[in-house]
Structure 1
Amino acid sequence: MWTVIGIALYILIAIAIVISLLLNGIRPSKTLAWLLAIFTIPVGGILLYLMLGRNKRKQQRYSRKPRAPEITPAVPAQDTAPLSKREGQISKLIAGNTGFPLTTDNEVELLKDGEKTFKRIFEALREARETIHVQYYIFEEGELADRLLDLFVQKEAEGVEVRLIYDSIGSLSLSRGYLQKLREAGIEVYNFLPYRFGRFLTSLNYRNHRKIIVVDGETAFTGGINISDKYLKGDENLGIWHDMHLMIRGSAAHHLNTVFINDWELVSGNQLEIKPPEMSQFPGNVRMQILASGPNDDFSLMEKLYFTLINSARKYVYITNPYIIPNHALMTALHTAALSGVDVRLLLSSKSDSIVVNLCVRSYFQRFLRSGIRIFLYPEGFLHSKIITVDDRVCTIGTANVDDRSFQHNYEVNAVVFEKTTAVELREYFERDSEKSIELNFEDFSTRPLTHRLAEGAARVISPLL
């Protein structure tokens, strides 16, 4: 009797999930993948769907709209050329859907790799007078975390308000002892969507992948670098982690502070005041915009940013990212650009921190190469940067990968810079790294062993679920 009841209950749950997928599924390929998983993997398919497949955008926690910054966009300097039509469309896409306008009074500095990045971060933290806001996906204990702890404690004793958000999955190894030391010093600490037995299935799939530090609402850092010693000393499997970060002074730093404040309200329930800075205090002239995306978006904004950047290219588009698992729209955009004569190049790490994800990424290489896209594999350590550079005019640096997890499930943030000097500097970094890399060619790659192709194909089947 209990067996019959169990089977009946299982069928009812499966039917309810199928109805939900048919009503709310956006991508047919992903909907089909979940339907196959539910009906071919008894029990396990439903559990996987509950953990990874449900669309939370309609739930109150995820549908809450973040506050926009209380700031008027700066007036462009007289010697600053106006945005081109294509750049204006990108800016309008961001402002119209996020509330973050174009700012024109910024100073920026590219920070390549951990040593330079953390040098600048510690310099800025030591100068903090009022607030330090820190938010990271991965916050790992080690020498770097210990130095930050000492500095946070010192600044809190000086009267600086220090607040920290860490992701409960990305920072899983962060110990209670470390957190207790922070709290004993008066530092406010919250983790993002803490996993508990009753909430594990509902929160696992929605992570905060952002990396943000804002000092006094004026100086900010964002990009791909997490708090981890592997950016300074490497790890035994992958070696040194290479990445790109960005230091910002200006109104865009205030916008990153607004992103943090919105996330602070989400994790703590407390609403902080958004204080707009004096517009005259920033001497920079770099135009940039902040795009914060997440499962609370009405549309997949980061996907649309990447899609628009690729489509806007007339000369070249260079993408550096370790996780390129494009959906159909981005595949079409990349192929169309390459077949139209645009110089499309991808720079990825030859090593990976995930075997399955690496196989998924490589499963797209043959079609990329066939369409004329050039692929470079960086051999020294692990390349973790997330960069797109277009035509020496516009570029983006941030936290978002080129995959559905970043587009649909994670909270991400990217800085979009409309300035030639920064774009050229990123292109030159790309070219120097490419010279060190191994370039693939279609003939050699297409003759790789059958076992490799089968493994890549199997991994690609589950790519809509990653």
Structure 2
Amino acid sequence: MLATILIIVYIIIGLIIVVSLLLNGVRPSKTLAWLLAIFTIPIGGVLLYLLLGRNRRKSKLFSLQRDLWERNYPPDGTDTVKISEYNKKISNLIYKTSKCPVTEHNKLTVLKDGRNTFESIFEALESAKEHIHLQYYIYEDGILAEKLLEIFERKVAENVTIRVLYDGIGSYSLSREYLNRLRKCNVEVAQFLPFRFGKFLSSLNYRNHRKIIVVDNKIGFIGGINISDKYLKGDPHLGKWHDTHLRIEGEAVDYLNGLFITDWYLASNKKVDTAPFQIKKTEKKETPMQIVPSGPDDDFAAIEQVYFSIMNNAKEYVYITNPYVIPNHAILQSMQTAALSGVDVRLLMSSSTDIKLVDWCVRSYYESYLKAGIKVYLYPDGFLHSKVMLCDDKIASIGTANLDNRSLQQNYEANAIVYDATLCKQMKTDFLQDCSKSIMLDDYQIFSNRPWTHKLIEGTAKLLSPIL
């Protein structure tokens, strides 16, 4: 009798989930996959759906305060800066999805690898007069953390307000002792969606993957580098970590600050008074750019749409550096279509990643790339962690988002989209230099004849690509 009741309850729960899937407009293939899981995996199917399957775009975890974006710009903000017709579609897309307009009073510096990046970060932090906002997915104990604490102690004594926001899962190893030392020196600290049993199912799968620093609303940083000593000392298994970061001076920093403030409110339930923050413009118009945020509760997957649009509009080349290229159908189609149309599409990735399962999943797509004429380069000297996309000497994307479902659909991410030929050419030269040091996979026939055991492992790992 009890077993019958449990079966009936399980079926009712399953039917409720089916109705939810239909109401939320999920793709038929995804609906069928979840139906299969729910009705063939007792208990586990429902738990997996609650953990991984719910549509946050319909059931919002948090609504961005759009006034943070619009308070300094008119509704038609995209028309206040003149950019080329080539870039107009991308800029309009970003503005309509995120309300971040193109800004042009910006001075940009591309920073490569940890040592150069942290030297620039420490210099900016030392210059702080009003506030420091620091937000990271991974914040680990070590040399860098101690250096930051040393600077924070000194700046707090100078009446600088400091807020530190870290992700509850990405920074899980950050010690309580270090956090207590931060609070003891009057640094405000908040944890984004902490790992708690009561909220385990609702929050575990939705992480804040952003890496943002804002100093006095004047200097900002964004990119792939976390607070980890791997960027100084390397990794015992992967070697040196390579990455790309961007230093921004100018009005685009205001949008990085707005992102931090909304995330801070979600994590701490404390509102930050934005009245004292004034946009710091450079003296002359230098580099047009936009900040594009994306998160699981936005109406549109903004960064995915930007990646998709850049590749679809490409005329000459698309160069991508990314450690985790696990494309969904739309991204894979756009890469293949561009390559088959004669666009020079190149992927630069590490020869191995920091997670073996992900490594096999990434490799499972190589054959699809090569068959379409996409050039694949595997970087052998350490771990390449940059998230960069370059197109036609016209557009550069530098940020936090990988080309996988986790970044494009589930994480809170942020990229900088830059419309500047000089910066694009500089980064293209660097990209091609890295390609020259890499192993090129250029023969589809040879690669397709790899051992069947490799294909089997890759195919198995590929089944998990929606959650990796």
TM (norm. structure 1) is 0.95
2:333 is aligned with 1:328? no
Q: What is residue 49 of structure 1 aligned with on the other side?
A: 49
Distance 1:182 1:10 in 2: 47
Q: Residue 258 in 1 paired to residue 286 in 2?
A: no
Offset at residue 64 of structure 1 (A): 4.5
Give the letter aligned to residue 134 of structure 1.
Answer: L
**Contact 1:65–1:296, Cα closer than 8 Å, also in 2:** no
Report the counterpart of residue 394 of structure 2 in structure 1.
393
Amino acid at match of 2:31: T
Residue 288 of structure 1: CA displacement? 0.6
Say whether 1:274 aligns with 2:286: no
8 Å contact from structure 2 (residues 242, 384) kept in 1: yes
In the superposition, relative to structure 1, how do residues 214 and 64 fare at CA in structure 2: closer, same or farther (>3 Å)?
closer
User: CA separation in 2, counterparts of 1:157 and 1:32?
Assistant: 59
Return the offset for 1:444. Answer: 1.9
The answer to whether the 8 Å contact 2:377/2:440 transfers is yes
Residue 28 (structure 1) aligns with: 28
Q: Which residue of 2 aligns with 1:131?
A: 131
On the 8 A contact 1:321/1:401 being kept in 2, the answer is: yes
Deviations 1:261-301 (A, max 9, x none): 11111112222233553565544511110001111211111
Query: What is the match of residue 58 of structure 1?
Result: 58
Preserved CA contact (<8 Å) 2:213 2:220: yes
Match of 1:242 in 2: 242
326-335 or 341-350, which deviates more: 326-335
Determine the C-alpha separation between the residues in 2 that align with 1:121 and 1:356: 33
Indicate the SS of the match to 2:403.
coil
Alpha-carbon distance in structure 1 between the residues aligned to 2:18 and 2:295? 25
Instruction: Answer yes or no: is the 8 Å Cα contact 1:33–1:464 preserved in 2.
Output: no
Q: How does 1:293-308 map to 2 (within 5 A)?
A: 293-308=294-309
1:34-433 map, 5 Å: 34-59=34-59, 61-66=61-66, 67-72=68-73, 82-275=82-275, 277=278, 281-283=282-284, 285-433=286-434
CA distance in 1, matches of 2:395, 2:272: 33
Distance 1:218 1:323 in 2: 32
Question: Counterpart of 2:445?
Answer: 443
Code of the aligned partner of 2:452: L
Residue 123 of structure 1 and its aligned partner are, at CA, apart by 0.4
Kept in 2, the 8 Å contact 1:377–1:437? The answer is yes
Q: Which amino acid aligns with 1:435?
A: S
Given residue 445 of structure 1, which amino acid in structure 2 is its aligned partner? F
Pairwise CA distance, 1:60: 5.0
Structure 1 SS opposite 2:191: strand
Shift of 1:53: 1.3
SS at match of 2:96: helix
Mean Cα displacement is larger for which, 183-192 or 25-34?
25-34
8 Å Cα contact 2:217-2:280 kept in structure 1? no
- Distance in 2 (CA, whole Å) between partners of 1:97 and 1:6 is 44
Q: What's the CA shift for 1:191? A: 0.4
Among all aligned residue pairs of Structure 1 and Structure 2, give the percentage whose two residues are the same amino acid: 54
1:459 aligned residue: 461
Number of residues of Structure 1 aligned to a counterpart in Structure 2: 460
Shift in Å, 1:149 = 1.0
- The 3 A distance-change label for structure 1 pair 278 and 325 is closer
C-alpha deviation, 1:455, in angstroms: 1.1
State the one-letter code of the partner of 1:443. Q
Contact between 1:33 and 1:465, CA under 8 Å: does it hold in 2? Answer: no
Using the size of structure 2 for normalisation, the TM-score is: 0.95
Contact 2:24 2:58 in 1 (8 A): no
In structure 2, do the counterparts of structure 1 residues 465 and 274 end up closer, same or farther at CA, with 3 Å as the change threshold?
same
- Alpha-carbon distance in 1 for matches of 2:8, 2:279: 64
What displacement does 1:388 show? 0.3
**Counterpart-to-counterpart distance in 2, 1:394 and 1:153:** 40
Check the 8 A contact 1:53/1:465 in 2, yes or no: no
Cα distance change on mapping 1:64 and 1:87 into 2, 3 Å: closer
Q: Contact (CA 8 Å) 2:316, 2:343: kept in 1 or not?
A: yes
How far apart in 2 are the matches of 1:279 and 1:162?
19
Query: Aligned to 1:247, what secondary structure does the other structure show?
Result: strand
Distance 1:337 1:11 in 2: 45
Question: For 1:362-407, what per-residue CA distance to the aligned partner results, in whole angstroms no more than 9, with x for missing partners?
Answer: 1111111011100000011110100000011111000001112111
Give, in whole Å, the separation in 2 of the partners of 1:54 and 1:6: 23
8 Å Cα contact 1:70-1:274 kept in structure 2? no
Alpha-carbon distance, 1:65 to partner:
4.2
User: How far apart are residue 7 of structure 1 and its match?
Assistant: 2.5
Q: Is the 8 A contact 2:107 2:287 kept in 1?
A: yes
1:94 & 1:144 partners in 2: Cα distance?
A: 34
Determine the C-alpha separation between the residues in 2 that align with 1:199 and 1:178.
25
The 1-side partners of 2:130 and 2:283 are apart by 18
Q: Is the 8 A contact 1:106 1:250 kept in 2?
A: yes
Secondary structure in structure 2 of the residue aligned to 1:344: strand
**Distance in 1 between the 2:121 and 2:285 partners?**
19
Deviation of residue 82 (structure 1)? 4.7
Q: Distance in 1 between matches of 2:99 and 2:386?
A: 26
Distance 2:181 2:256 in 1: 27
Verify the 8 A CA contact 1:57 1:63 in the aligned structure 2: no
What amino acid is the match of 1:177?
E
Say whether the 8 Å CA contact 1:136–1:166 is kept in structure 2.
Answer: yes
CA distance in 1, matches of 2:186, 2:249: 27
Q: In structure 2, do the counterparts of structure 1 residues 170 and 282 end up closer, same or farther at CA, with 3 Å as the change threshold? A: farther
Evaluate the alpha carbon distance shift between residue 39 and residue 300 of structure 1 in structure 2; reply closer, same or farther with a 3 A threshold. Answer: same
2:107–2:282: 8 Å Cα contact kept in structure 1?
no
Give the alignment's Cα RMSD to 1 decimal. Answer: 1.8
Counterpart contact for 1:30–1:465, Cα < 8 Å: no
Query: Structure 1 residues 314, 365: closer, same or farther in 2, change over 3 A?
Result: same
Counterpart CA distance in 2 for 1:386 and 1:12 is 43
Which range moved further: 377-386 or 262-271? Answer: 262-271
Distance of aligned partners of 1:426 and 1:31 in 2 relative to their CA distance in 1, 3 Å threshold: farther
Secondary structure at the counterpart of residue 47 of structure 1:
helix
Q: Which moved more, 1:400-409 or 1:1-10?
A: 1-10
